[in-house]
Amino acid sequence: MQKRDFSQSPLKVFFSYYGPHKKLFTLDIIMALLGVAADLVFPWATRHALQALLPDRKYVAFFTVMAVLFAAYILRSLTVYIVTVFGHELGVRVEADMRSDIFRHVQQLSFSFFDTHRTGKLMSRMTTDLFEITELAHHGPENVLQAGLTLIGAIVILMTVRWELALVLLIMLPLLLAVVISLRLKLRNASKDVKQETAEINAAVEGGVSGARTVKAFANESVEMEKFRVSNERFKKSKRVYYRRFGLFNSATEFTVAAMQVVVFAPGGYYIMKGRMDLADLVAFSLYVSIFTSPIRKLIFFVEQFETGRAGFERFLEIMRTPAAVEDAPDAKELESVTGDVEYRDVGFHYENGPPVIEHVDLHIAPGETLALVGPSGSGKTTLSQLLPRFYDVTEGAVLVDGQDIRSVTQASLRRHIGMIQQDVFLFADTVRENIRYGRPDATDEEVAHAAMLAAIHDEILAMPEGYNSFVGERGVMLSGGQKQRIALARVFLKNPPILVLDEATSALDSVTEAAIQRSLEELSSGRTVIVVAHRLSTIRNADHIAVIENEHVAEYGTHEELLSKGGLYAGLWNTQKLM
């Protein structure tokens, strides 16, 4: 896999993606040049035939030239095929390389990145933006080369025929191109407005339909209708502007080609009548002006494509240049043979430019012990647990595993020794078996089944229509909350880590399901170092130690009985929950 320096200029980074595909790129360019040559030779050959072959009735030479032209256009058709097929293959490969790079980089980014970036926008960066970049990567060099060489070649040839006429075209062409390109960019802006207003209409329709019950409950049909009417009127207005600019652009493009023909014919006719030019020269001029149509359209298309592709590439680079907030140290080593001794040593943490979330926290969990973190919502319990696997890095102090600062070991080796079960279980749109096997991808089917037994989900899986091959749906939508939680448990049983983090793993379940899963959690926790984040204090009364987090600090620390006897914050929380 080629390593790229994304700190270089955007142009250097962009062209670096052609490197691994030089052969395809070279083939695409050569075929494009052959296509240009075929276009340029026809008017020249026509002029030669009219001037030298037809008047002298040189049958053999004339039909030889015609045969050569026919062969040239067969070759041109072949070049069009090759450019279409292999040029797009080049674009697809560049797109695949970019998508691979951005996906790999996003996988390496820290939790803080995903806290501030919406999934939908990231998906757009990896799909729509990359497609637009690919179109530029394929068509950009090819279109500029073909259009530029065709126009330059035609002008150069025409200079040898009648330099005065060629000079008029040379002056006129950039002016007409500037006008048409300007109109095209205005058309693109109008198209953006239409897309934006279409999105607004979709939002209005979605809100009115999905919220129909609420709308009816409050008798607000007229309010929703007014919202839709406003969006619809704005859409009509933007569409009207778009079609006006579209019509102006089309008419300007057609005028450009027609105007050049008139510019050629008017003075050309004058030169013929003066005897300074023959009909063959005028025909040649007319044919060359006719072939201007395609390169002009390509240049116009390229300008729009360049703007779109450039914007997409800038968004791509924005992601690729985003550093991971949590990175392995250059001399990071593998964490091996973990016993499960965990220590928080004077730990402090705050988000970037934010207030402190945790300050001066000192905690120690011996191998095989369970520490419960409790406290009011927003007190920093979950954040404290997420510092252990380095989802975030401490801003003060240190977290140690078996006496080693976790910043001195690789993230991968650290996380291999930590199992996590959270309230919001994420299941992949795959089978039950593969979701459990995610805990250890090389596990056998027997090991997967054994883990499911330990998580008390094996029998329920066998009762499903296709057993372990049953599809769980998007995010596990086809399973109950308790089943999803047990599959998450089975994953961790399969992983068999020495350290376990349970972040409110049962708080979203009903009491019956919670009690059943609690037994599985106790089985899983046996012999492991466990950090439990809990709201329901009844689930952690048997913990070896309980830390009450309040106002960014450890407010209380001890066993369940010790904390109750103090009559402090924990006792208050306990008594409140007993009354509920």
- Percentage of the chain beyond pLDDT 70 is 90
| Phi–psi pair at 549, nearest 5 degrees | -100, 125
3-state SS, residue 368? coil
Q: Which residues pair with 399 in a beta bridge?
A: 344
Q: State how far the alpha carbon of 120 is from the alpha carbons of 127, 129, 157, 324, in Å.
A: 11, 12, 53, 20
Q: How confident is the model at residue 400 (pLDDT cuts 50, 70, 90)?
A: very high
CA dist 539 and 513 (Å) reads 13
Q: What's the rounded mean pLDDT across residues 461-488?
A: 82
174-204 pLDDT per residue, tens: 877 787 777 777 777 776 777 677 767 766 7
Average pLDDT, the chain: 81
pLDDT at 199: 63
475-493 pLDDT per residue, tens: 677 787 778 888 888 888 8
pLDDT at 124: 67
Q: What's the rounded mean pLDDT across residues 526-553?
A: 84
Asked if residue 434 has pLDDT above 60, the reply is yes
Asked if residue 238 has pLDDT above 70, the reply is yes
Q: What's the rounded mean pLDDT across residues 565-573?
A: 84
pLDDT at 2: 66
pLDDT at 313: 82
3-state SS, residue 542? coil
11-46 pLDDT per residue, tens: 888 888 888 888 888 888 888 888 888 877 777 777
267-326 pLDDT per residue, tens: 778 778 877 777 777 777 777 777 777 787 777 777 777 777 777 788 888 888 877 777
* Count of C-beta atoms within a 10 Å radius of residue 128: 12
CA dist 331 and 406 (Å) reads 12
Q: Which residues pair with 347 in a beta bridge?
A: 361
pLDDT at 328: 80
Rounded (5°) CA angle 74-39-165: 160
Three-state SS letters, 492-534: HHHHCCCEEEEECCCCCCCHHHHHHHHHHHHHHHCCCEEEEEC
Q: How confident is the model at residue 341 (pLDDT cuts 50, 70, 90)?
A: very high
Nearest in space to 391 (alpha carbons), one of 423, 365, 414: 414
Question: Both tokens of residue 238?
Answer: 């933007």
Burial 24-60 (b: 16+ CB within 10 A, else e): bbebbbebbebbbbbbbbbbbbbbbbbbebeeeeeee
Which has the higher per-residue pLDDT, 57 or 505?
A: 57
Report pTM.
0.67
CA dist 319 and 328 (Å) reads 19
Q: State how far the alpha carbon of 296 is from the alpha carbons of 110, 152, 172, 391, 422, in Å.
A: 47, 12, 13, 53, 59
Asked if residue 57 has pLDDT above 90, the reply is no
Q: How confident is the model at residue 574 (pLDDT cuts 50, 70, 90)?
A: confident
